[in-house]
Amino acid sequence: MFKKFYIYLANLKLAIIILLIIAFFSSIGSFIEQNKDIDFYKDQYPNQIFNIPFWEIIKYLGLDTIYTTWWFLSLLILLGFSLISCTFLQQLPNLKFSRRYYFYKQKKQFKKLAFNFNPRKVFKSHLSHSLLIKEYSIFYQKNCIYAYKGLISRVGPIVVHLSLISILLGSTLSAIQGFNSQELVVKTELFHIQNIVKSGFFSKIPQTTFRVNDFWSTSTLIGETKQFYSDISILDGQANELKRKTISVNNPLLFKNLTIYQTDWGISGIRVRLKKQNEVIANKNVQIPVVKLNTSSKKIWLSSLPPYKERSNDFILLINNNRGQLTLFNNNGQFLKTMNLGESNDIINGIYFNILDIISSTGVQIKSDPGVNILYSGFLFLIFSSITSYLSFSEFWLLDGYHYTITGAKTNRSKILLNLEFLKFKQSFIE
């Protein structure tokens, strides 16, 4: 039964059906947002089907995490076994058969060939030399000649199967063992992998310690942000630095199976110092928290400068960049001034304050993708198979009988080129 099942898996129709099912569910995964929280699906899919909320159906069937569900991974595994069965039962025997040299010893065999000719005389030595120059492999048997070239093109279908198997294996390993984490960390702080966005069934989160040494950005001449940079160190259990690198967008840090990307930035707070006529007011070196406004076009944070005495009014601070610049408003929302980091500002009645620091934070993505190397190997094999698919497998026969001589040739591709080649043989070495 195992042998029958193995033969059944090698069926091309079955492989196509499985591939169509995988493509269908993959297309559903492109329409339904993946890996969102339950409130998102409640808001986006409030409709009901047979009195059942659609979001419940999505959650029950796992349509919110299609690519990591057991049934989708089972389809990938089944397709992989189908490709392996087809490779061993069909492709490898075909390659072995193509390597065999076989001679046409009957005149009727040449009638099946696309190109055939009945010459009066053949100069075999000249013909053989020309075939060798054309990179043919030549075999003799009594009065018969057989030659072929382009055997590597027969390897193409096997390499295609190997590439698909590698892609399936790599993507499956990434799905069941990989994970994705998003961390927002204040500069100079230590952090671990905690905010897991996505993980597989067998994912192992390493207890690696990271430190954000610094974070900064560069701007264009018109003030727009050009690039973000984070200086990140990876530490061992004794706080010894294992690796350090300044990362930026499209320039990640690689460490073992982890990849650390620069993805976002934010502001966690402001440090200010209150003064009165150049004298620091007692207990007035404060760190003020900020609140981020939810805007689609621009990042904006708001904070409030605390009053220096009970009856004084507070002030509103607005921050829309991390270049050390703030905008000051009164509690009625009226614009007062724009301030820079380190600048001393007179608020009221001789009370000054300095902006000591804008506490910025960096957003990093930590990703583990154990199957990525296998996946890239699959794509490399696929490129190789695409190149070999343009090569043709050509064969040439000659039968020199007692009363007749006949030659013929065939190819699976480049038939025009073989026709020209065959005509040249006829004119040069065959009468």
Same-domain pairing of 367 and 227: yes
Statement: the pTM of the whole predicted model exceeds 0.85: no
pLDDT for the residue 313: 59
- Asked if residue 176 lies in contact with residue 73, where contact means CB atoms within 8 angstroms, the answer is yes
Same-domain pairing of 197 and 259: yes
Q: Which residues of the chain have pLDDT under 70?
A: 1-3, 95-101, 222-223, 275-284, 295-297, 306-313, 344-352, 427-431
SS3 letters across 297-358: CCCEEEEEECCCCCCCCCEEEEECCCCCEEEEEECCCCEEEEEECCCEEEEECCEEEEEEEE
Q: What pLDDT, in 10s, does the model give residues 57-103?
A: 888 888 888 888 888 888 888 888 888 888 887 777 776 666 666 78
pLDDT for the residue 247: 93
Whether residue 82 lies inside any domain: the answer is yes
Whether residue 156 lies inside any domain: the answer is no
Cα distances from 286 to residues 68, 189, 351, 356, in angstroms, run 47, 19, 15, 10
Q: What pLDDT, in 10s, does the model give residues 172-214?
A: 888 888 899 999 898 888 999 988 888 888 888 888 899 999 8
Same-domain pairing of 209 and 282: no
Whether residue 95 lies inside any domain: the answer is no
Longest dimension (CA), the chain: 124
Same-domain pairing of 244 and 374: yes
pLDDT for the residue 344: 65
pLDDT for the residue 311: 45
Same-domain pairing of 373 and 245: yes
Q: Write phi, then psi, for 251 (nearest 5 degrees).
A: -140, 75
- Asked if residue 190 lies in contact with residue 211, where contact means CB atoms within 8 angstroms, the answer is yes
pLDDT for the residue 111: 83
Alpha-carbon distance of 236 to 258, in angstroms, equals 15
Same-domain pairing of 253 and 371: yes
pLDDT for the residue 68: 81
Whether residue 160 lies inside any domain: the answer is no
pLDDT for the residue 197: 85
Alpha-carbon distance of 267 to 341, in angstroms, equals 14
Same-domain pairing of 237 and 315: no
Instruction: In the chain, count H helices and then E strands.
Output: 10, 23
Whether residue 299 lies inside any domain: the answer is yes
Whether residue 407 lies inside any domain: the answer is yes
pLDDT for the residue 430: 53
* 156-177 vs 372-388: helix crossing angle, rounded to 10: 160
User: Among residues 259, 263, 265, 254, which one has the least CA distance to residue 217?
Assistant: 265
pLDDT for the residue 306: 63
Name the residue with tokens 């075939």: 131
Whether residue 387 lies inside any domain: the answer is no
Alpha-carbon distance of 148 to 59, in angstroms, equals 58
Could you tell me the residue range of the domain that residue 338 belongs to?
A: 267-361
Q: Which CATH number fits the domain that encloses residue 113?
A: 3.30.310
Same-domain pairing of 133 and 105: yes
Same-domain pairing of 221 and 368: yes
Alpha-carbon distance of 37 to 35, in angstroms, equals 7
Q: How far is CA 164 from the centre of its chain?
A: 15
Domain count, the chain: 4
Other beta carbons less than 10 A from residue 238's beta carbon = 5
* Residue 164 one-letter amino acid: L
Same-domain pairing of 71 and 139: no
Q: How far is CA 178 from the centre of its chain?
A: 13
pLDDT for the residue 416: 81
Whether residue 321 lies inside any domain: the answer is yes
First to last CA, the chain: 59
Same-domain pairing of 354 and 282: yes
Same-domain pairing of 47 and 194: no
